[in-house]
Structure 1
Amino acid sequence: MSGSLFIVAAPSGAGKTSLVRALVKDDDRVRLSVSHTTRTPREGERDGVDYFFVSQQSFAEMRDAGAFLESATVFDNSYGTSAEAVNSLLAEGLDVILEIDWQGAQQVRRNFADSISIFILPPSRATLEQRLRNRGQDDEATIARRMRDAENEMSHYIEFDYLLVNDVFEETLSALRAVVVARRHSLAVQKQQHARLLTELLA
């Protein structure tokens, strides 16, 4: 049985990464796709766990060879999802989450028409800006640019299947989990999972 592909997108600071990591920790049937990136590792990040950190040249070679399911440039750095890695996990019957931006989501939907896309919004602009400041990673100019880019990112929410507002973390996590569980009980998935039972019941 093949797993399902989930796309999760959000502006920087909306809490997307924390939500996805919490879901993966709680559900052993969900895997997070590890992206390739050209950006420098942040403190505490591990190669092959958080990202595959590669040079710009290596990234370009992979992209030109068609190795990426999707790729995009964000904040002057390139990001890409390995098609081989995603297909391998899906073939094992695992659900896979792609934590990508709206550009990547558009590319994935062209290749996976039955993917499920989820967009996460902050509860307010003020909250979003405060979350960015609380990270303590960016200067004022970078925060200002992230806020401008966030507005553009958020304008694409309408392209997604589900919309979650991350105000209370546990409530949002519960909603995210509900989307995944609902997909597992959709007719298309259940017909595949219980093909033998259905044949027996309707014989």
Structure 2
Amino acid sequence: MSLEYILNITKPMLEGAQMTILLFLVAIVLAIPLGFVITLLAKSSIRAVARLAHAYVYVMRGTPLLLQLLFICFGLPLLPIVGEYLVFDRFVAACIGFVLNYAAYFAEIFRGGLLAIDKGQYEAAQVLGFSKWQTTTKIILPQMFRVALPAVSNESITLVKDTALLYAVAVPELLHYAQTAVNRDFTIVPFFIAGVIYLVMTLLLTLFFKWLEKRFKFE
């Protein structure tokens, strides 16, 4: 196996990796804040709102991400009356699916972070004269994010690997180009190269979150 061949098949895979990274960035930037909003809605004193938020989390976590992607890409356009308005570009549809799915997981992570905070801190803040807003923004949220950070890190790494599901909805990404090379050249070398690229991406992400943990003095 020549070096020239490896370079020739690596170039298109790196181009596909750009799509992988773009999907990851869109999903992570939108899913984390949406997940936090869902966490707040689930704690709402309005029972209907809280139940709706819990139901959303249950459905999104209880069904496969692949099924959700297929439904958004191919199922929504088949709905009567509104279907014609729900035809999305494949990449856009994939972004919607990933954001909605991962928001549910991040919501559960943030809920766990809130539950880990001692109730006495709320009482202490009240005694010290903090308003509810001050208590939430200056005391509760910083602690919640420190507690949730390792779980957010793990979920983010899973997100990188799940981007391979773009292949199932015909969006050309890293795995697509690797599979194309394997079928064309009858060699498994492209799979190894794709694996190395995924490992590099997850390594960089792991180092970034370790830096964040040290910055927030988690360790």
- TM-score by length of structure 2 reads 0.30
Higher strand share: 1
- TM-score by length of structure 1 reads 0.32
Higher helix share: 2
Which protein is bigger by CA-based radius of gyration?
Answer: 2
